[in-house]
Structure 1
Amino acid sequence: MQSLLLILAALLPSATPRQDAASLDDLRAGQWITVKGEVVTATGPDERTRFLAEDLELTAPEEFESLLGTVSAAPDRSGSWLLLGQPINLSERTEWTRVEPGTPLVGRRVRIDGRYRGPGKFSARDIRPWGEGRDRLAGRIDEINAVAGGFELEVMRFTVFVPKTVVVELERPLDEIQLIPRRWKPAQLVGLVDEDDLLRERIELAPGLRIGGQLGIEGSDEDEYDLDDQVDQGRSTLEAVARLRLAWRVADDLFARAEGRFTRRWLEDEKDGPSNVSQTRLGETWLYWRNALGGGWDAQAGRQDFDDPREWIYDQNLDGLRLIHTGASTRLELAAATSWGGEASPRNRDALNLFTYFSNLDRDQHLAGWVTHRSFQDGSGDQLTHFGFRALGEWLPDSESWLELSGVAGEEAGHDVLGYAFDVGTTFEFDELPFSLSLGYALGSGDNDSGYRQTGLEDNNARLGTVTSIRYYGEVLEPELSNIAIGTVGSSWWPEERTSVSLIAHSFHQLDPATVLRGTNLDAKPDGYHNELGYEFDFVVGSRRWRDLDIELVAGIFFPGVAFPNGSEAARFARFQLRYRF
């Protein structure tokens, strides 16, 4: 009898209850979730959409991402749709279930399944009407961060806030929930948001009113920038920065932002001795009015960030007016701006700047044409007009490529200016290996008086197979693209998704030998007879493993060529940077 009972016990279902719930601590990047809740009012025109979770379920990965809510018309009145703030793209592959193709759906609740391609593109595969209820989204957790009162999950374009009170439901036991890789690749070259300058206004003071900030510290050391080891001329700098930003949604189509910045800098110079300086100034402070002029024309007025994807044209806070027209597949920006105070040089402070930037709104394959006109009001009579075309993004398989073409015409320092420049390259990414390989070549025509020079607003700072942005023309020499040819080769190792270790090499040659090298921080000058400026190697470690903390370590060395005196010493540079957002 005892043996029979043991056999029956083995055949009967286990008395252990099936696991059907988990805690928020069990959430992991790579899990697939379905979230029900509501979209939270945004406080900025371009920020990530925030979603307040009321219910959350961990499920098996689906073939498509999914959005459920009420369809709204895009603010440009182009006839395109938004669902939960996400632009929806229709194609011949879109299937219509229980509704006729092309049926007007604005104001109706629908469920759309499809491929998430990025913040500006959700390729619809199935559209079907849906009944009343809560909004819903389903997709992969790309990031997870603990915050006050719960967790924030990054899912597609959404920042999903999950309060601590939410119970995580399980479709199946937790150990059977598999992790999946990211299905969409964040654009490394193209994007509306500069992650180096990003603030997250996550502290809510009132509905539509939030505040956030950033604390940063950066230290750098320059040695032998005169290329002469017989003279002590090293420099060490330590800088602490605090930023506080207020974001306010004044009305449905009116947004405001105000920012204050405090900087404290300590400098130790072997030639001039120690010094320190403190500065308090106004950061981005503007009003943004959607459809201010009608016809889909937005207006932005105040101190605003003029920043292009590679910071090859400009990267400056300027005071002015910008008009933006966003169509179904294009974006046009027209702006007039100057600098009132801030960190602008006296020459830039006296300049009137006119900008035009026309792009195709595609983050994967970004095309744009642009024009800048700068008129300097310092009595010099200098005027420069730059124009250009660019193609950035995934133009080759498994790669991020760039092509910059530009020309300049005008007058500067009593000389007629007419020149051209180009910058072309690609970063190859290996699917099976955590490595990338970057190759690039850039040229700015000579000579120094009449050849190409950049706008004077550029920063030449972007990712190059790296997590964080780098000086892609060299961290030590850091020249302007003028009367110079620069060859670049680099390789990066990604030990994890948000950390990279990179080694990058540059070669520098002047087109016309000259004693002037525009933009460089070197104190030494070329001899004006030889072309070969030298070579540089940069070692960069960057990490954004924690969403609110950026870490970057840089070391570079420049070996002078025959354009500098025989026996010149190598110049060395080192920098560390920490940024924390709150």
Structure 2
Amino acid sequence: MLRRIWIVPGLFAFALTLVGIKSTEAGPYTKLREGYGVEVSGSWNKGIFDAKSVEKLAEARRPKLRGTIEKLDKADSSFILFGLKIKVEAKTLFPARGESTGGLENLKEGMRLEVTCNVSKANRWTADKIDWNEIKPSDKIKGTITRIAFDNKPPDTIEISGLKILITEETDLYGSARYLEEELFGNLTADEGGTNVPHIRVGEQVLLSGDYRQTTRLEKSYTLSEVQEDDYQDTEPALRLEAAGNWAPEVQSFLQLRMRKKYTFGTFPNRPSTVESTRFEFQAIQAYLLLRAPAGRKAALMVGKQRVRDQREWLFDEYLDAARLYVYETQPVVLEASFLPSLFPFKDEKYRTWDDLLFRVRFIPDGKNEANVYMLKRWDSDLRNREPVYWGLSYYGRPKQFVTGWVQASLLRGTDKQRDQEAYAFDFGATFAATNLSLRPSLTLGYALGSGDKSSSDTISQEFRQTGYEDNSGRFGGFANFQYYGEVLDPELANLQVLTAAAGFRPHKQVSVDAVFHTYRQNQLDTDVRSDLITPPVAPNAVSKDLGWEIDFVLGVEKILKRFNIGYSFGLFNPGEAFAPLRADNAFLNRLNVRVEF
């Protein structure tokens, strides 16, 4: 690794060079037009909405406002929000709160609400839907620009059906860096989202937060044997503490500590047959500095132990030592160069002999879509000499309100066990959700393929192997994350074809249910399945490619009392003809995740 340490000062030098480049981008005002859909964050101030940031949406939309009722007139069936008179009609929807629906009688002055509106040509506003349950504290407006009053000398205004929005020099307009920074540096910049962003203030510079997590697993018949006793259970409580430091406009820090201990139960080959606990772990799983370029230049360097992940955790989801350079002068295009040396790996991690270099060109047009191309090169000091080179492209996002899609494609080159690698993989699919219906039903279809080795006796391997940093975890239409190639089999995408179909719905705004079905086939006949969990006493027979099928049920419960999150998964794997002629038993998994934020 030491012979490659030059990469770190090289990244610093590259950053300093790019910091001196002046942006040739046109004025940000030119990126707003009448008819554009926008999302505006800010606050109501003396008769006008003072915009903190403006983000362009993928398409025009009707207005949706989130704020505080200024005045309520029940006799007139109306209320004032952001200076607008909004009428409540008999057909206005009030989503259920607990076991009862709301109505105008439940509203009161000072209450926070989120209202979806219809606006007439005369700018008469009526409420189509009013949500009044656990509304976020930040004010926000979504809608379509109907008027622009810009002279490129702020302050200026835009209007959404008569609602005036003030644009100042401090406003982050479309083309600004905020949504990019939320994606790149989430723990330090996001004010909403799935992560527990530090929020308990200590002095002027430090924010604290934390969470308690407990994961419990029950595995049955993971050897696929009808005669061998192999039930297994473990539970792992973990406590995380986080601190974010804002030391200067150009300098921030993030520290995340984790304390955990696993307890195992059951009977399983090579596992304990009585209660046994693993050693107690106290680790700094993240400890890094974020150094921004001065004078508002759009470049930043993150140095230290940090979580490296992609949207679907197909390439990365690990806590790694890293120096990561981001340059976004050309936004929405982001240039990323990252060096990932194994300086202080956690004990017994498989990547402790790896050093990786990652280059990515990322296109992030808004907070909902990202496409990128990448190259990942590895050096390995282990005798195995696993030194792959990945060339790939990916997309994940929501191009329309009702569809979320993904595409992964990768070519694998390099060497592994002194064999050259010439392999490929792809994964694509989409989730279609009826977001306008109360149950929000969704349907997901996906297909993934990792190439297989035609012959193990030659000098070239055609078997695709994932990076070793992957987790293959995500979500479809619900709140809970799960292993999207199967909770039980949980395979690596190597010599494998996976066809996925799923359906889900949300019986409550904080509850989701998904049913996910997979079929598995080998790409080339082989006596191996690359899965960490399934360890059958009899390997696949290399006669049939049919590995079997799996069905998973996933329950997600989000933000109970704003702090409790629950995820539960039940999975059943049914082995296929590849395990014949010996009869194989089904394998089962029950997994419960509980997280409490504070």
Match of 1:322 among 321, 324, 328: 324
Q: Structure 2 length normalisation: TM-score?
A: 0.68
Structure 2 equivalent of residue 486 of structure 1:
498
Q: The residue matched to 2:395 in structure 1 has which SS?
A: strand
Q: The residue matched to 1:348 in structure 2 has which SS?
A: helix
In structure 1, what is the Cα distance between the partners aligned to 2:515 and 2:482? 12
In structure 2, what is the Cα distance between the partners aligned to 1:349 and 1:458? 15
Where does 1:62-461 land on structure 2 (aligned, <5 Å)?
95-97=147-149, 99-100=150-151, 103-105=152-154, 109-113=155-159, 193=186, 198-271=195-268, 272-273=272-273, 274-277=275-278, 278-291=280-293, 295-326=297-328, 327-341=330-344, 343=346, 345-362=348-365, 363-395=367-399, 398-430=402-434, 431-432=436-437, 434-447=440-453, 449-461=461-473
Structure 2 equivalent of residue 575 of structure 1:
591
Q: Structure 1 length normalisation: TM-score?
A: 0.70
Query: 1:538 aligned to 2:552?
Result: yes
Structure 2 equivalent of residue 179 of structure 1:
none
Q: CA deviation at 1:366?
A: 2.3
Q: Deviations over 1:179-218 (max 9, x none)?
A: xxxxxxx9xxx99759998223111111121111110111
In structure 1, what is the Cα distance between the partners aligned to 2:42 and 2:338? 42
Count of residue pairs brought into register by the alignment: 452
**Could you say what the CA RMSD is over the residues aligned between the two structures, in angstroms?**
3.8
Q: Deviations over 1:373-417 (max 9, x none)?
A: 121111333210112111222346721111111111011012211
In structure 1, what is the Cα distance between the partners aligned to 2:116 and 2:486? 44
In structure 2, what is the Cα distance between the partners aligned to 1:253 and 1:112? 31
Q: Deviations over 1:463-488 (max 9, x none)?
A: 11121211100000000011000000
Q: CA deviation at 1:559?
A: 0.2
Q: The residue matched to 1:349 in structure 2 has which SS?
A: helix
Q: The residue matched to 1:394 in structure 2 has which SS?
A: strand
State the AA in 2 paired with 1:509.
R
Q: Deviations over 1:9-39 (max 9, x none)?
A: xxxxxxxxxxxxxxxxxxxxxxx99645999
Structure 2 equivalent of residue 174 of structure 1:
none
Q: CA deviation at 1:523?
A: 0.9
Q: The residue matched to 2:544 in structure 1 has which SS?
A: coil
Q: CA deviation at 1:528?
A: 2.3
Query: 1:548 aligned to 2:563?
Result: yes
For the 8 Å contact 1:227–1:571, the answer to whether it is kept is: yes
In structure 1, what is the Cα distance between the partners aligned to 2:184 and 2:196? 15
In structure 2, what is the Cα distance between the partners aligned to 1:130 and 1:386? 44
In structure 1, what is the Cα distance between the partners aligned to 2:408 and 2:185? 18
Q: The residue matched to 1:284 in structure 2 has which SS?
A: strand
Structure 2 equivalent of residue 171 of structure 1:
none
Structure 1 residues 241 and 130, CA, compared in 2 at 3 Å: closer, same or farther? closer
Q: The residue matched to 2:464 in structure 1 has which SS?
A: coil
Unpaired stretches in structure 1, ≥5 consecutive residues: 1-31, 42-52, 66-84, 116-123, 138-156, 159-185
Q: The residue matched to 2:579 in structure 1 has which SS?
A: coil
State the AA in 1 paired with 2:216.
G
Q: The residue matched to 1:473 in structure 2 has which SS?
A: coil
In structure 2, what is the Cα distance between the partners aligned to 1:383 and 1:294? 39
Q: CA deviation at 1:517?
A: 1.3
In structure 1, what is the Cα distance between the partners aligned to 2:381 and 2:412? 19
Q: Deviations over 1:336-366 (max 9, x none)?
A: 0134445464430110011122211133342
Q: Deviations over 1:53-94 (max 9, x none)?
A: 9997762358799xxxxxxxxxxxxxxxxxxx99999x9x67
In structure 2, what is the Cα distance between the partners aligned to 1:420 and 1:568? 31
State the AA in 2 paired with 1:325.
V
Structure 1 residues 136 and 376, CA, compared in 2 at 3 Å: closer, same or farther? closer
Q: Which piece of structure 1 moves more, 448-457 or 459-468?
A: 448-457
Q: Deviations over 1:501-547 (max 9, x none)?
A: 11110000001111221133101132222200000000110011433
Give identity over the alignment, percent. 24
Q: CA deviation at 1:456?
A: 0.7
State the AA in 2 paired with 1:348.
Y
For the 8 Å contact 1:95–1:127, the answer to whether it is kept is: no
State the AA in 2 paired with 1:312.
W
Unpaired stretches in structure 2, ≥5 consecutive residues: 1-40, 53-66, 72-79, 87-114, 120-137
For the 8 Å contact 1:408–1:452, the answer to whether it is kept is: yes
